[in-house]
Amino acid sequence: MLIFDEDRPSDSPVVERIWHCHGEGTRPFLSIAQSRCELVFSRLHGKITLTVRGPETRATPLGDCPAGGEWLGIRLRLGAFLPPLPAATLVNASVTLEVSSSATFWLGGSPWQVPDYGNADTFVDWLVRAGLLFREPLVDAVLQGQRQRLSLSTIQRRFLRATGVTQATARQIERARYATLLLQRGTSILDTTYEADYFDQPHLTRSLKHYIGQTPAQIQEKSRPEQMPFLYKTTPFS
């Protein structure tokens, strides 16, 4: 079972949140859909690895979480990506990089020191300065409904290149995550359907089963054995 020890937002324009957790005992884990990329440093059985996770367009059971491990996560903002590992190649996938005994790993042809919870922001700044982490400004502008002097095909192409998913998919994922958060807080299924702007309850149920892996009732009643990741405060895109 994962125990989330601490988490915090980041002032970095490319990072949404930084978190740290450890494992105690075993419990099946359910990875739910997400539209962002994420860097996860793992320490398990004396070995350190860096996993770059891409956007996930469906819920995926991952089996039991290992006990005794520690994880540091850097959740990127939507539209932030590593050019050496394009988001489009990481959809429903991940890349794991080996870390040497000196706690360094190679990225973009250079060695990098593994960060910790306290200096993760500085680590990200270094990646940005080295051109290894970039955020497409068009993504936020589009999701906020700002008009663009670009063709629709250009907007769609740049959005997909930066995020790995279409605008419609990103909105559907965030809406499902928002609905899940409401249900976890005790909001009724009927009110959640309205607050998250679903057509009706069957629409809500279909969406959550695909993106979250559980029905609204299962989320409310916590009747499934799988542990889900901690959902930070989130709202659907406008």
Residue extents of the structural domains in the chain? 2-135
Confidence (pLDDT) at 237: 62
Give the separation between CA 79 and CA 13, rounded to whole angstroms.
10
Gap between the Cα atoms of 236 and 146, Å rounded: 16
Calculate the dihedral angle through the C-alpha atoms of 99, 100, 104, 107, rounding to the nearest 10 degrees: -60
How far apart are alpha carbons 39 and 121 in whole angstroms? Answer: 12
pLDDT, residue 149, reads 82
- Whether the full predicted model's pTM is greater than 0.85, yes or no, is yes
Three-state DSSP at 114 gives coil
Closest CA to 53 of 65, 69, 35: 35
Residue 33's CB is within 10 A of a number of other CB atoms, namely 25
Element housing 22 (H / E): strand 15-23
Amino acid type, 221: E
Judge whether 87 and 37 are in contact, CB under 8 Å: yes
Instruction: Tell me the C-alpha distance between 238 and 107, whole Å.
Output: 35
SS3 143: helix
- pLDDT tens, residue order, the chain (238 aa): 677 788 899 989 999 999 998 888 777 888 999 999 999 999 988 889 999 999 999 999 887 777 788 999 999 999 999 998 989 899 999 999 888 888 899 998 889 999 999 999 999 999 999 999 999 989 988 887 777 788 888 999 999 999 999 999 999 999 999 999 999 999 999 999 999 999 999 999 999 999 999 999 999 998 887 887 767 666 666 5
Q: Which amino acid is at 212?
A: I
Q: Which residues contact 3 (CB under 8 A, 6 or more apart)?
A: 21, 22, 23, 24
Question: Terminus-to-terminus CA distance in the chain, angstroms?
Answer: 35
Which pLDDT score is estimated for 24? 80
The pLDDT assigned to 151 comes to: 87
pLDDT at 147: 78
Number of helices and strands in the chain (H, E): 7, 12
